[in-house]
Structure 1
Amino acid sequence: MQSLIGTGVALVTPFKKDFSVDVEALKRIVSHQIENGIDYLVVLGTTGESATLTKKEKELVITTVIEANASRLPLVLGVGGYNTAEVVEELKTRDLSKFEAVLSVSPFYNKPTQEGIYQHFKTVAEASPIPVILYNVPGRTASNMLPATVLRLAKDFDNVVAIKEAAGDIVQAMRLIQHKPEGFLVISGDDAITLPMVLAGGSGVISVIAEGFPRQFSDMVRLGLERRADEAYKIHYGLLDAIDMIFEQGNPAGIKAVLKTLGLSENTVRLPLVTATDDLASRLESFTKNAGIRSEANV
């Protein structure tokens, strides 16, 4: 899965001020990623506020991204949830021909045991016609998918090809890298420790901060993959404050504030999320402008 090495971006779903999906803004955001060096795009992940979208809106987002991308970058689709049967039904009925892989989050709310997580993903892997990227994010799911469970899945199913590891635990990530099967990718899901994970042998990132700062963050990941650590860390520390800020009041409120500064979209989010406060938005605007970031839409 060489196409999943490097920097993937978890796309937001931009909304107009009336909370409807902003198709034109989504096209601009996709183009901004492509023009600034991102390696692949992730559609309808958590950052895309997929939990608040109707089925019709999800189809609109998928169609818009496919058309705007025009086969230029690989695409990954978020297909996950806490109802295994429902996830399987989507995998069996959705046209996945335009996607490189699915990103499937570990079941949330239910808090399954490690055996329950294994059996869930066993069922998902057997149902999926394309490769599966596991997604471990205990801060959202309330359960941690342990390395032993991940490695068991990776060894038992050829189409389980990667994990987006977002536990925020560098030691846990290193255990995965240490024991993973050949060809299995350990992808960072935590922007702040992406570079240490890459230098430890990780394969890149599925990022939020890169959506607002695609050139800088993707350059950092490439330098890390090339083992040019000193150069990579200059970029890392240059963006570290922004990474803290975009998650300060929840995701994607922070990154949407950045995208508004760039002139790419409104900063609207849907309840139960709320927009970034004026104070946070001002700090992000100042950081973005001082960093010299701009979009082609703003030129």
Structure 2
Amino acid sequence: MEAFIGTGVALITPFKEDLSVDTRALTKLVKNQIENGIEYLVVLGTTAESATLTHDEKELIKDTVKEANAGKLPLMLGIGGNNTASVVEELKTSNLEGFDAILSVSPYYNKPTQEGIYRHFKAVSEASPLPVVLYNVPGRTASNVLPETVNRIARECKNIIGVKEAAGDIVQAMRLISLVPEDFKVISGDDMITLPMVLAGGKGVISVIGQGLPQEFSDMVRAGLQGKVKEAYELHYRIAPSIDLIFAEGNPAGIKALLAKKGLVSNNLRLPLVEASEVLTGRINNFMENF
């Protein structure tokens, strides 16, 4: 499939008991994704607990993923922030060798106007040597990038090739799909409405649950892209309870509990995030045992 169509996963950062980066577990996780149908990998997004990682740890994670991937899947790298000048500087100075695109979140906390968001991404576009996917996640940023703004960016910033749309609003997603150029990728950032978005014309997903159920979730997305609606919805309804579970106490607590149940990682998070509660962990374990 064309790069960044289908299922990408937002990789977690596995930690050891001492909360150092577990490169062996990360390698194992990447290989598991490759072997189970995932189309691309997203490195150092929000799910990776990137806000708690040092510069050296980020470089270690980038190197580990590139080595484990060995050129098999396209790689997207998270570089974003709420200081435009700082993001521009990072794009200009980072070692981007081995990566195929940038995922850049809309500025958080500052709550810019739509004009401010447009100018931010215009600066990002001009600075980035790689194609950029804009990330709209109002639940984390406190501002919504409206479809009209994304359309303006799509038409005026030629190396911004898509948007990860995570407003959780299928009506907004459909308006977005109807506005943007045909070759501009509208990618779901919300696992639960991924299939409706794909059937409405979206190009796939950057997923969290896809990391825990890679074969089943990527099969669902492929079926949706191929118009196999019945087959796709059968998979959707089988997977759907796990999506509610992994987000019940925030991300990535739930997906780490699920991945720990699968024996891929240890269930460790860095403060201020904490591991899923005993009750939720039990529910996740029960789902996996009966899946």
* TM-score, normalization by structure 2: 0.99
Inter-partner Cα distance in structure 2 for 1:98 and 1:13: 19
Matched, 1:201 2:175: no
Aligned partner of 2:40 in structure 1 is 40
Aligned partner of 1:237 in structure 2 is 237
Aligned partner of 1:125 in structure 2 is 125
Per-residue CA deviation, residues 76-113 of structure 1 (Å, 9 max, x unaligned), is 00000001111111100112131111000000010000
Name the SS of the counterpart of 2:3 in structure 1. helix
Aligned partner of 2:280 in structure 1 is 280
Inter-partner Cα distance in structure 2 for 1:88 and 1:79: 9
Q: Which amino acid aligns with 1:218?
A: S
Alignment of 1:184-195 (within 5 A): 184-195=184-195
1:157 shift after superposition:
1.3
Inter-partner Cα distance in structure 2 for 1:264 and 1:145: 35
Instruction: State the number of aligned residues.
Output: 291
Aligned partner of 2:30 in structure 1 is 30
Per-residue CA deviation, residues 42-83 of structure 1 (Å, 9 max, x unaligned), is 000000000000001000000000000000000000000001
Aligned partner of 2:162 in structure 1 is 162
Aligned partner of 2:140 in structure 1 is 140
Segments ≥4 residues shifted beyond 6 Å: none
1:288 shift after superposition:
1.1
1:2 shift after superposition:
2.2
Name the SS of the counterpart of 1:17 in structure 2. coil
Inter-partner Cα distance in structure 2 for 1:242 and 1:274: 19
* TM-score, normalization by structure 1: 0.96
1:286 shift after superposition:
1.2
Alignment of 1:95-110 (within 5 A): 95-110=95-110
Q: Which amino acid aligns with 1:248?
A: A
Structure 2 contact 31–68 (Cα < 8 Å) conserved: yes
Name the SS of the counterpart of 2:32 in structure 1. helix
Inter-partner Cα distance in structure 1 for 2:47 and 2:12: 5
1:289 shift after superposition:
1.9
Structure 2 contact 15–268 (Cα < 8 Å) conserved: yes
1:265 shift after superposition:
0.5
Per-residue CA deviation, residues 266-297 of structure 1 (Å, 9 max, x unaligned), is 11111111100011111111111211xxxxxx
Structure 2 contact 192–240 (Cα < 8 Å) conserved: yes
Can you give the 5+ residue segments of structure 1 that lack an aligned partner in the other structure?
Answer: 292-299
Per-residue CA deviation, residues 240-280 of structure 1 (Å, 9 max, x unaligned), is 11000100000000000011001011111111111000111
Can you give the 5+ residue segments of structure 2 that lack an aligned partner in the other structure?
Answer: none
Alignment of 1:236-275 (within 5 A): 236-275=236-275
Name the SS of the counterpart of 1:4 in structure 2. coil
Aligned partner of 1:86 in structure 2 is 86
Inter-partner Cα distance in structure 2 for 1:222 and 1:174: 19
Q: Which amino acid aligns with 1:53?
A: L
Aligned partner of 1:50 in structure 2 is 50
Structure 2 contact 148–179 (Cα < 8 Å) conserved: no
Q: Which amino acid aligns with 2:40?
A: Y
1:17 shift after superposition:
1.2
Aligned partner of 1:2 in structure 2 is 2
* C-alpha RMSD of matched pairs (Å): 0.8
Aligned partner of 2:215 in structure 1 is 215
